[in-house]
Amino acid sequence: MPPNVGEPTVAPSTHRGQTIAQKIIARHAGREHVEVGEYLSCVPDHVVTQELYWPTHKENLEKIGAKGLARPDKAIIVIDHTAAAAVGSRHAATHKLLKELTERFGIENFFGPNTGLRHLVLVERGFARPGSLVFSDEGNIASIGAVGALNIPTSADILVPLLKDENWLRVPKTVRINLFGQLAFGVSARDVVQSIIRDYGSGEFLQCCVEYGGPGVHDLTLDDRQTILASTFHTMSDTAIMEVDDVALAYVDERANGRPYETIFSDPDAQYERVIDIDLSCIEPLVTVPPELTGAQPVSLLAGTPIHQATIGSCAGNRLQDMRDAAAILSGRTIARKVTLYISPGSQNVYAQAAREGLLAIFATAGATVLSPGCNTCWGYLGVLNENENSISTHQFNYQGRNGAETARIFLASPLTVAASAVCGEIVDPRILLGEARSPNALMEAD
């Protein structure tokens, strides 16, 4: 912990405009203004964790003799990586451990197997709200920024806010990304964030909060916004957030259950580390080539690469919009004989709505394997790859050995591109299967 936490390391100025992140941090630090670089102690609205680290957390709690949590009502614990624990799996014991611990500590917000990812649980159940601050164990939970909530990832330090109802943080710099225009036919939000990681993923956003705004935000669905925010941490940023509009606020109002919130915008004279403008209409379908996350290329350059496994899931591709995109490709088609396609809805709500819309039936008829809500395939718990196999997925990572054999290759793409490639048995431009290819190269290949 840095020295003198809670005391300003930079003299605050009432004449300097504040960003969204600065305002949220100031509110939770009991301050009117904060300055970039200050170390402050903040009281969170919620603290969220998943099951994989809890055997270690339990050991640490026993070592320090902890008898309980400071605010059990703020704790949110979700079993989202091991929705099913097979015979011989150590995760069955973890499930039992968490059921016992949450009862002993009086944690009511415990969500067991098949509830879904905590990213979606926070948003769908109204925990994440405009102006709220959440300490979590992962940077990709920045997806809650779609409803104006700020995620502060703390990793192993997650026990601190659970035990003390506060934790220190360093006020981040803010990079502003203004979105303009609309997505072209066959292009998705995943293509947007892959282009951002390609262009700015080499450390340009280090120790920053990425703040998204601009008129282009209003033409993105709430699912689209979460997808972009969930992967922004690959730019090496600390966190990310997006300006809220009527769409986001209407969603929050339906789920807040009386919980208060505060809509926050950056001041006109807020100080940004950098301002970037992105025209959404100029983005095309992309595929990220392993093993680097910055290796996104136009799908036309990878067309024809054979595929053995395809997966649609993870916090970067498991929302209802992703299910609908996959169904748009798979409807009336069958996946290639040599391809295994896994689809993991992100939550019980996504699973149920996909069933009501007939999407699960489309997946089953096409030959896909629909898994229970959760992380499942992204971290390699299910869908293990063999030597020299190629996978195309909506996952977060593509490094060697992530999902099995070291020689396997993992290509990252949107649900549209993943589903289209599963049907064709090779990487393909999804616009061809959607029936309106706008790329001259793709048209020639289709002929």
* Beta strand pairing call for 39-42 and 167-170: antiparallel
pLDDT at 95: 93
Q: How far is CA 202 from CA 39, 212, 284, 293, in A?
A: 25, 19, 21, 10
Query: And the tokens for 359?
Result: 């999407």
Count of CB atoms situated within 10 Å of the CB of 243: 22
At position 353, the amino acid (one-letter code) is Q
Is the pTM higher than 0.85? The answer reads yes
Report whether 77 contacts 116 (CB < 8 A). no
List every span in the chain annotated with CATH 3.30.499.10.
20-261+270-278, 285-446
DSSP-assigned letter for residue 109: -
Taking Cα atoms as reference points, which of 146, 121, 144 lies closest to residue 133? Answer: 144
Query: And the tokens for 328?
Result: 């748009």
> ∠ CA 117-196-407 to the nearest 5 degrees?
70
pLDDT per 10-residue tile (average), the chain, 447 residues: 46 72 98 97 97 93 94 96 81 93 96 94 97 96 98 91 97 98 97 98 95 97 98 97 97 93 96 97 98 96 98 96 98 97 96 98 98 90 93 94 93 98 98 68 37
pLDDT at 444: 35
* Beta strand pairing call for 173-180 and 274-279: parallel
From 3.40.50.880, 3.30.499.10, 3.40.50.720, 2.60.40.420, which CATH number describes the 20-261+270-278 domain? Answer: 3.30.499.10
- Side-chain-facing half-sphere of 104: CA atoms under 13 Å: 10
Count of CB atoms situated within 10 Å of the CB of 226: 28
- Count Cβ atoms within 10 A of the Cβ of residue 255 and give its class: 0-12 exposed, 13-18 middle, 19 or more buried: middle
CATH class of 285-446: alpha beta
pLDDT at 21: 98
How many helices and strands in the chain, by DSSP H and E?
Answer: 15, 18
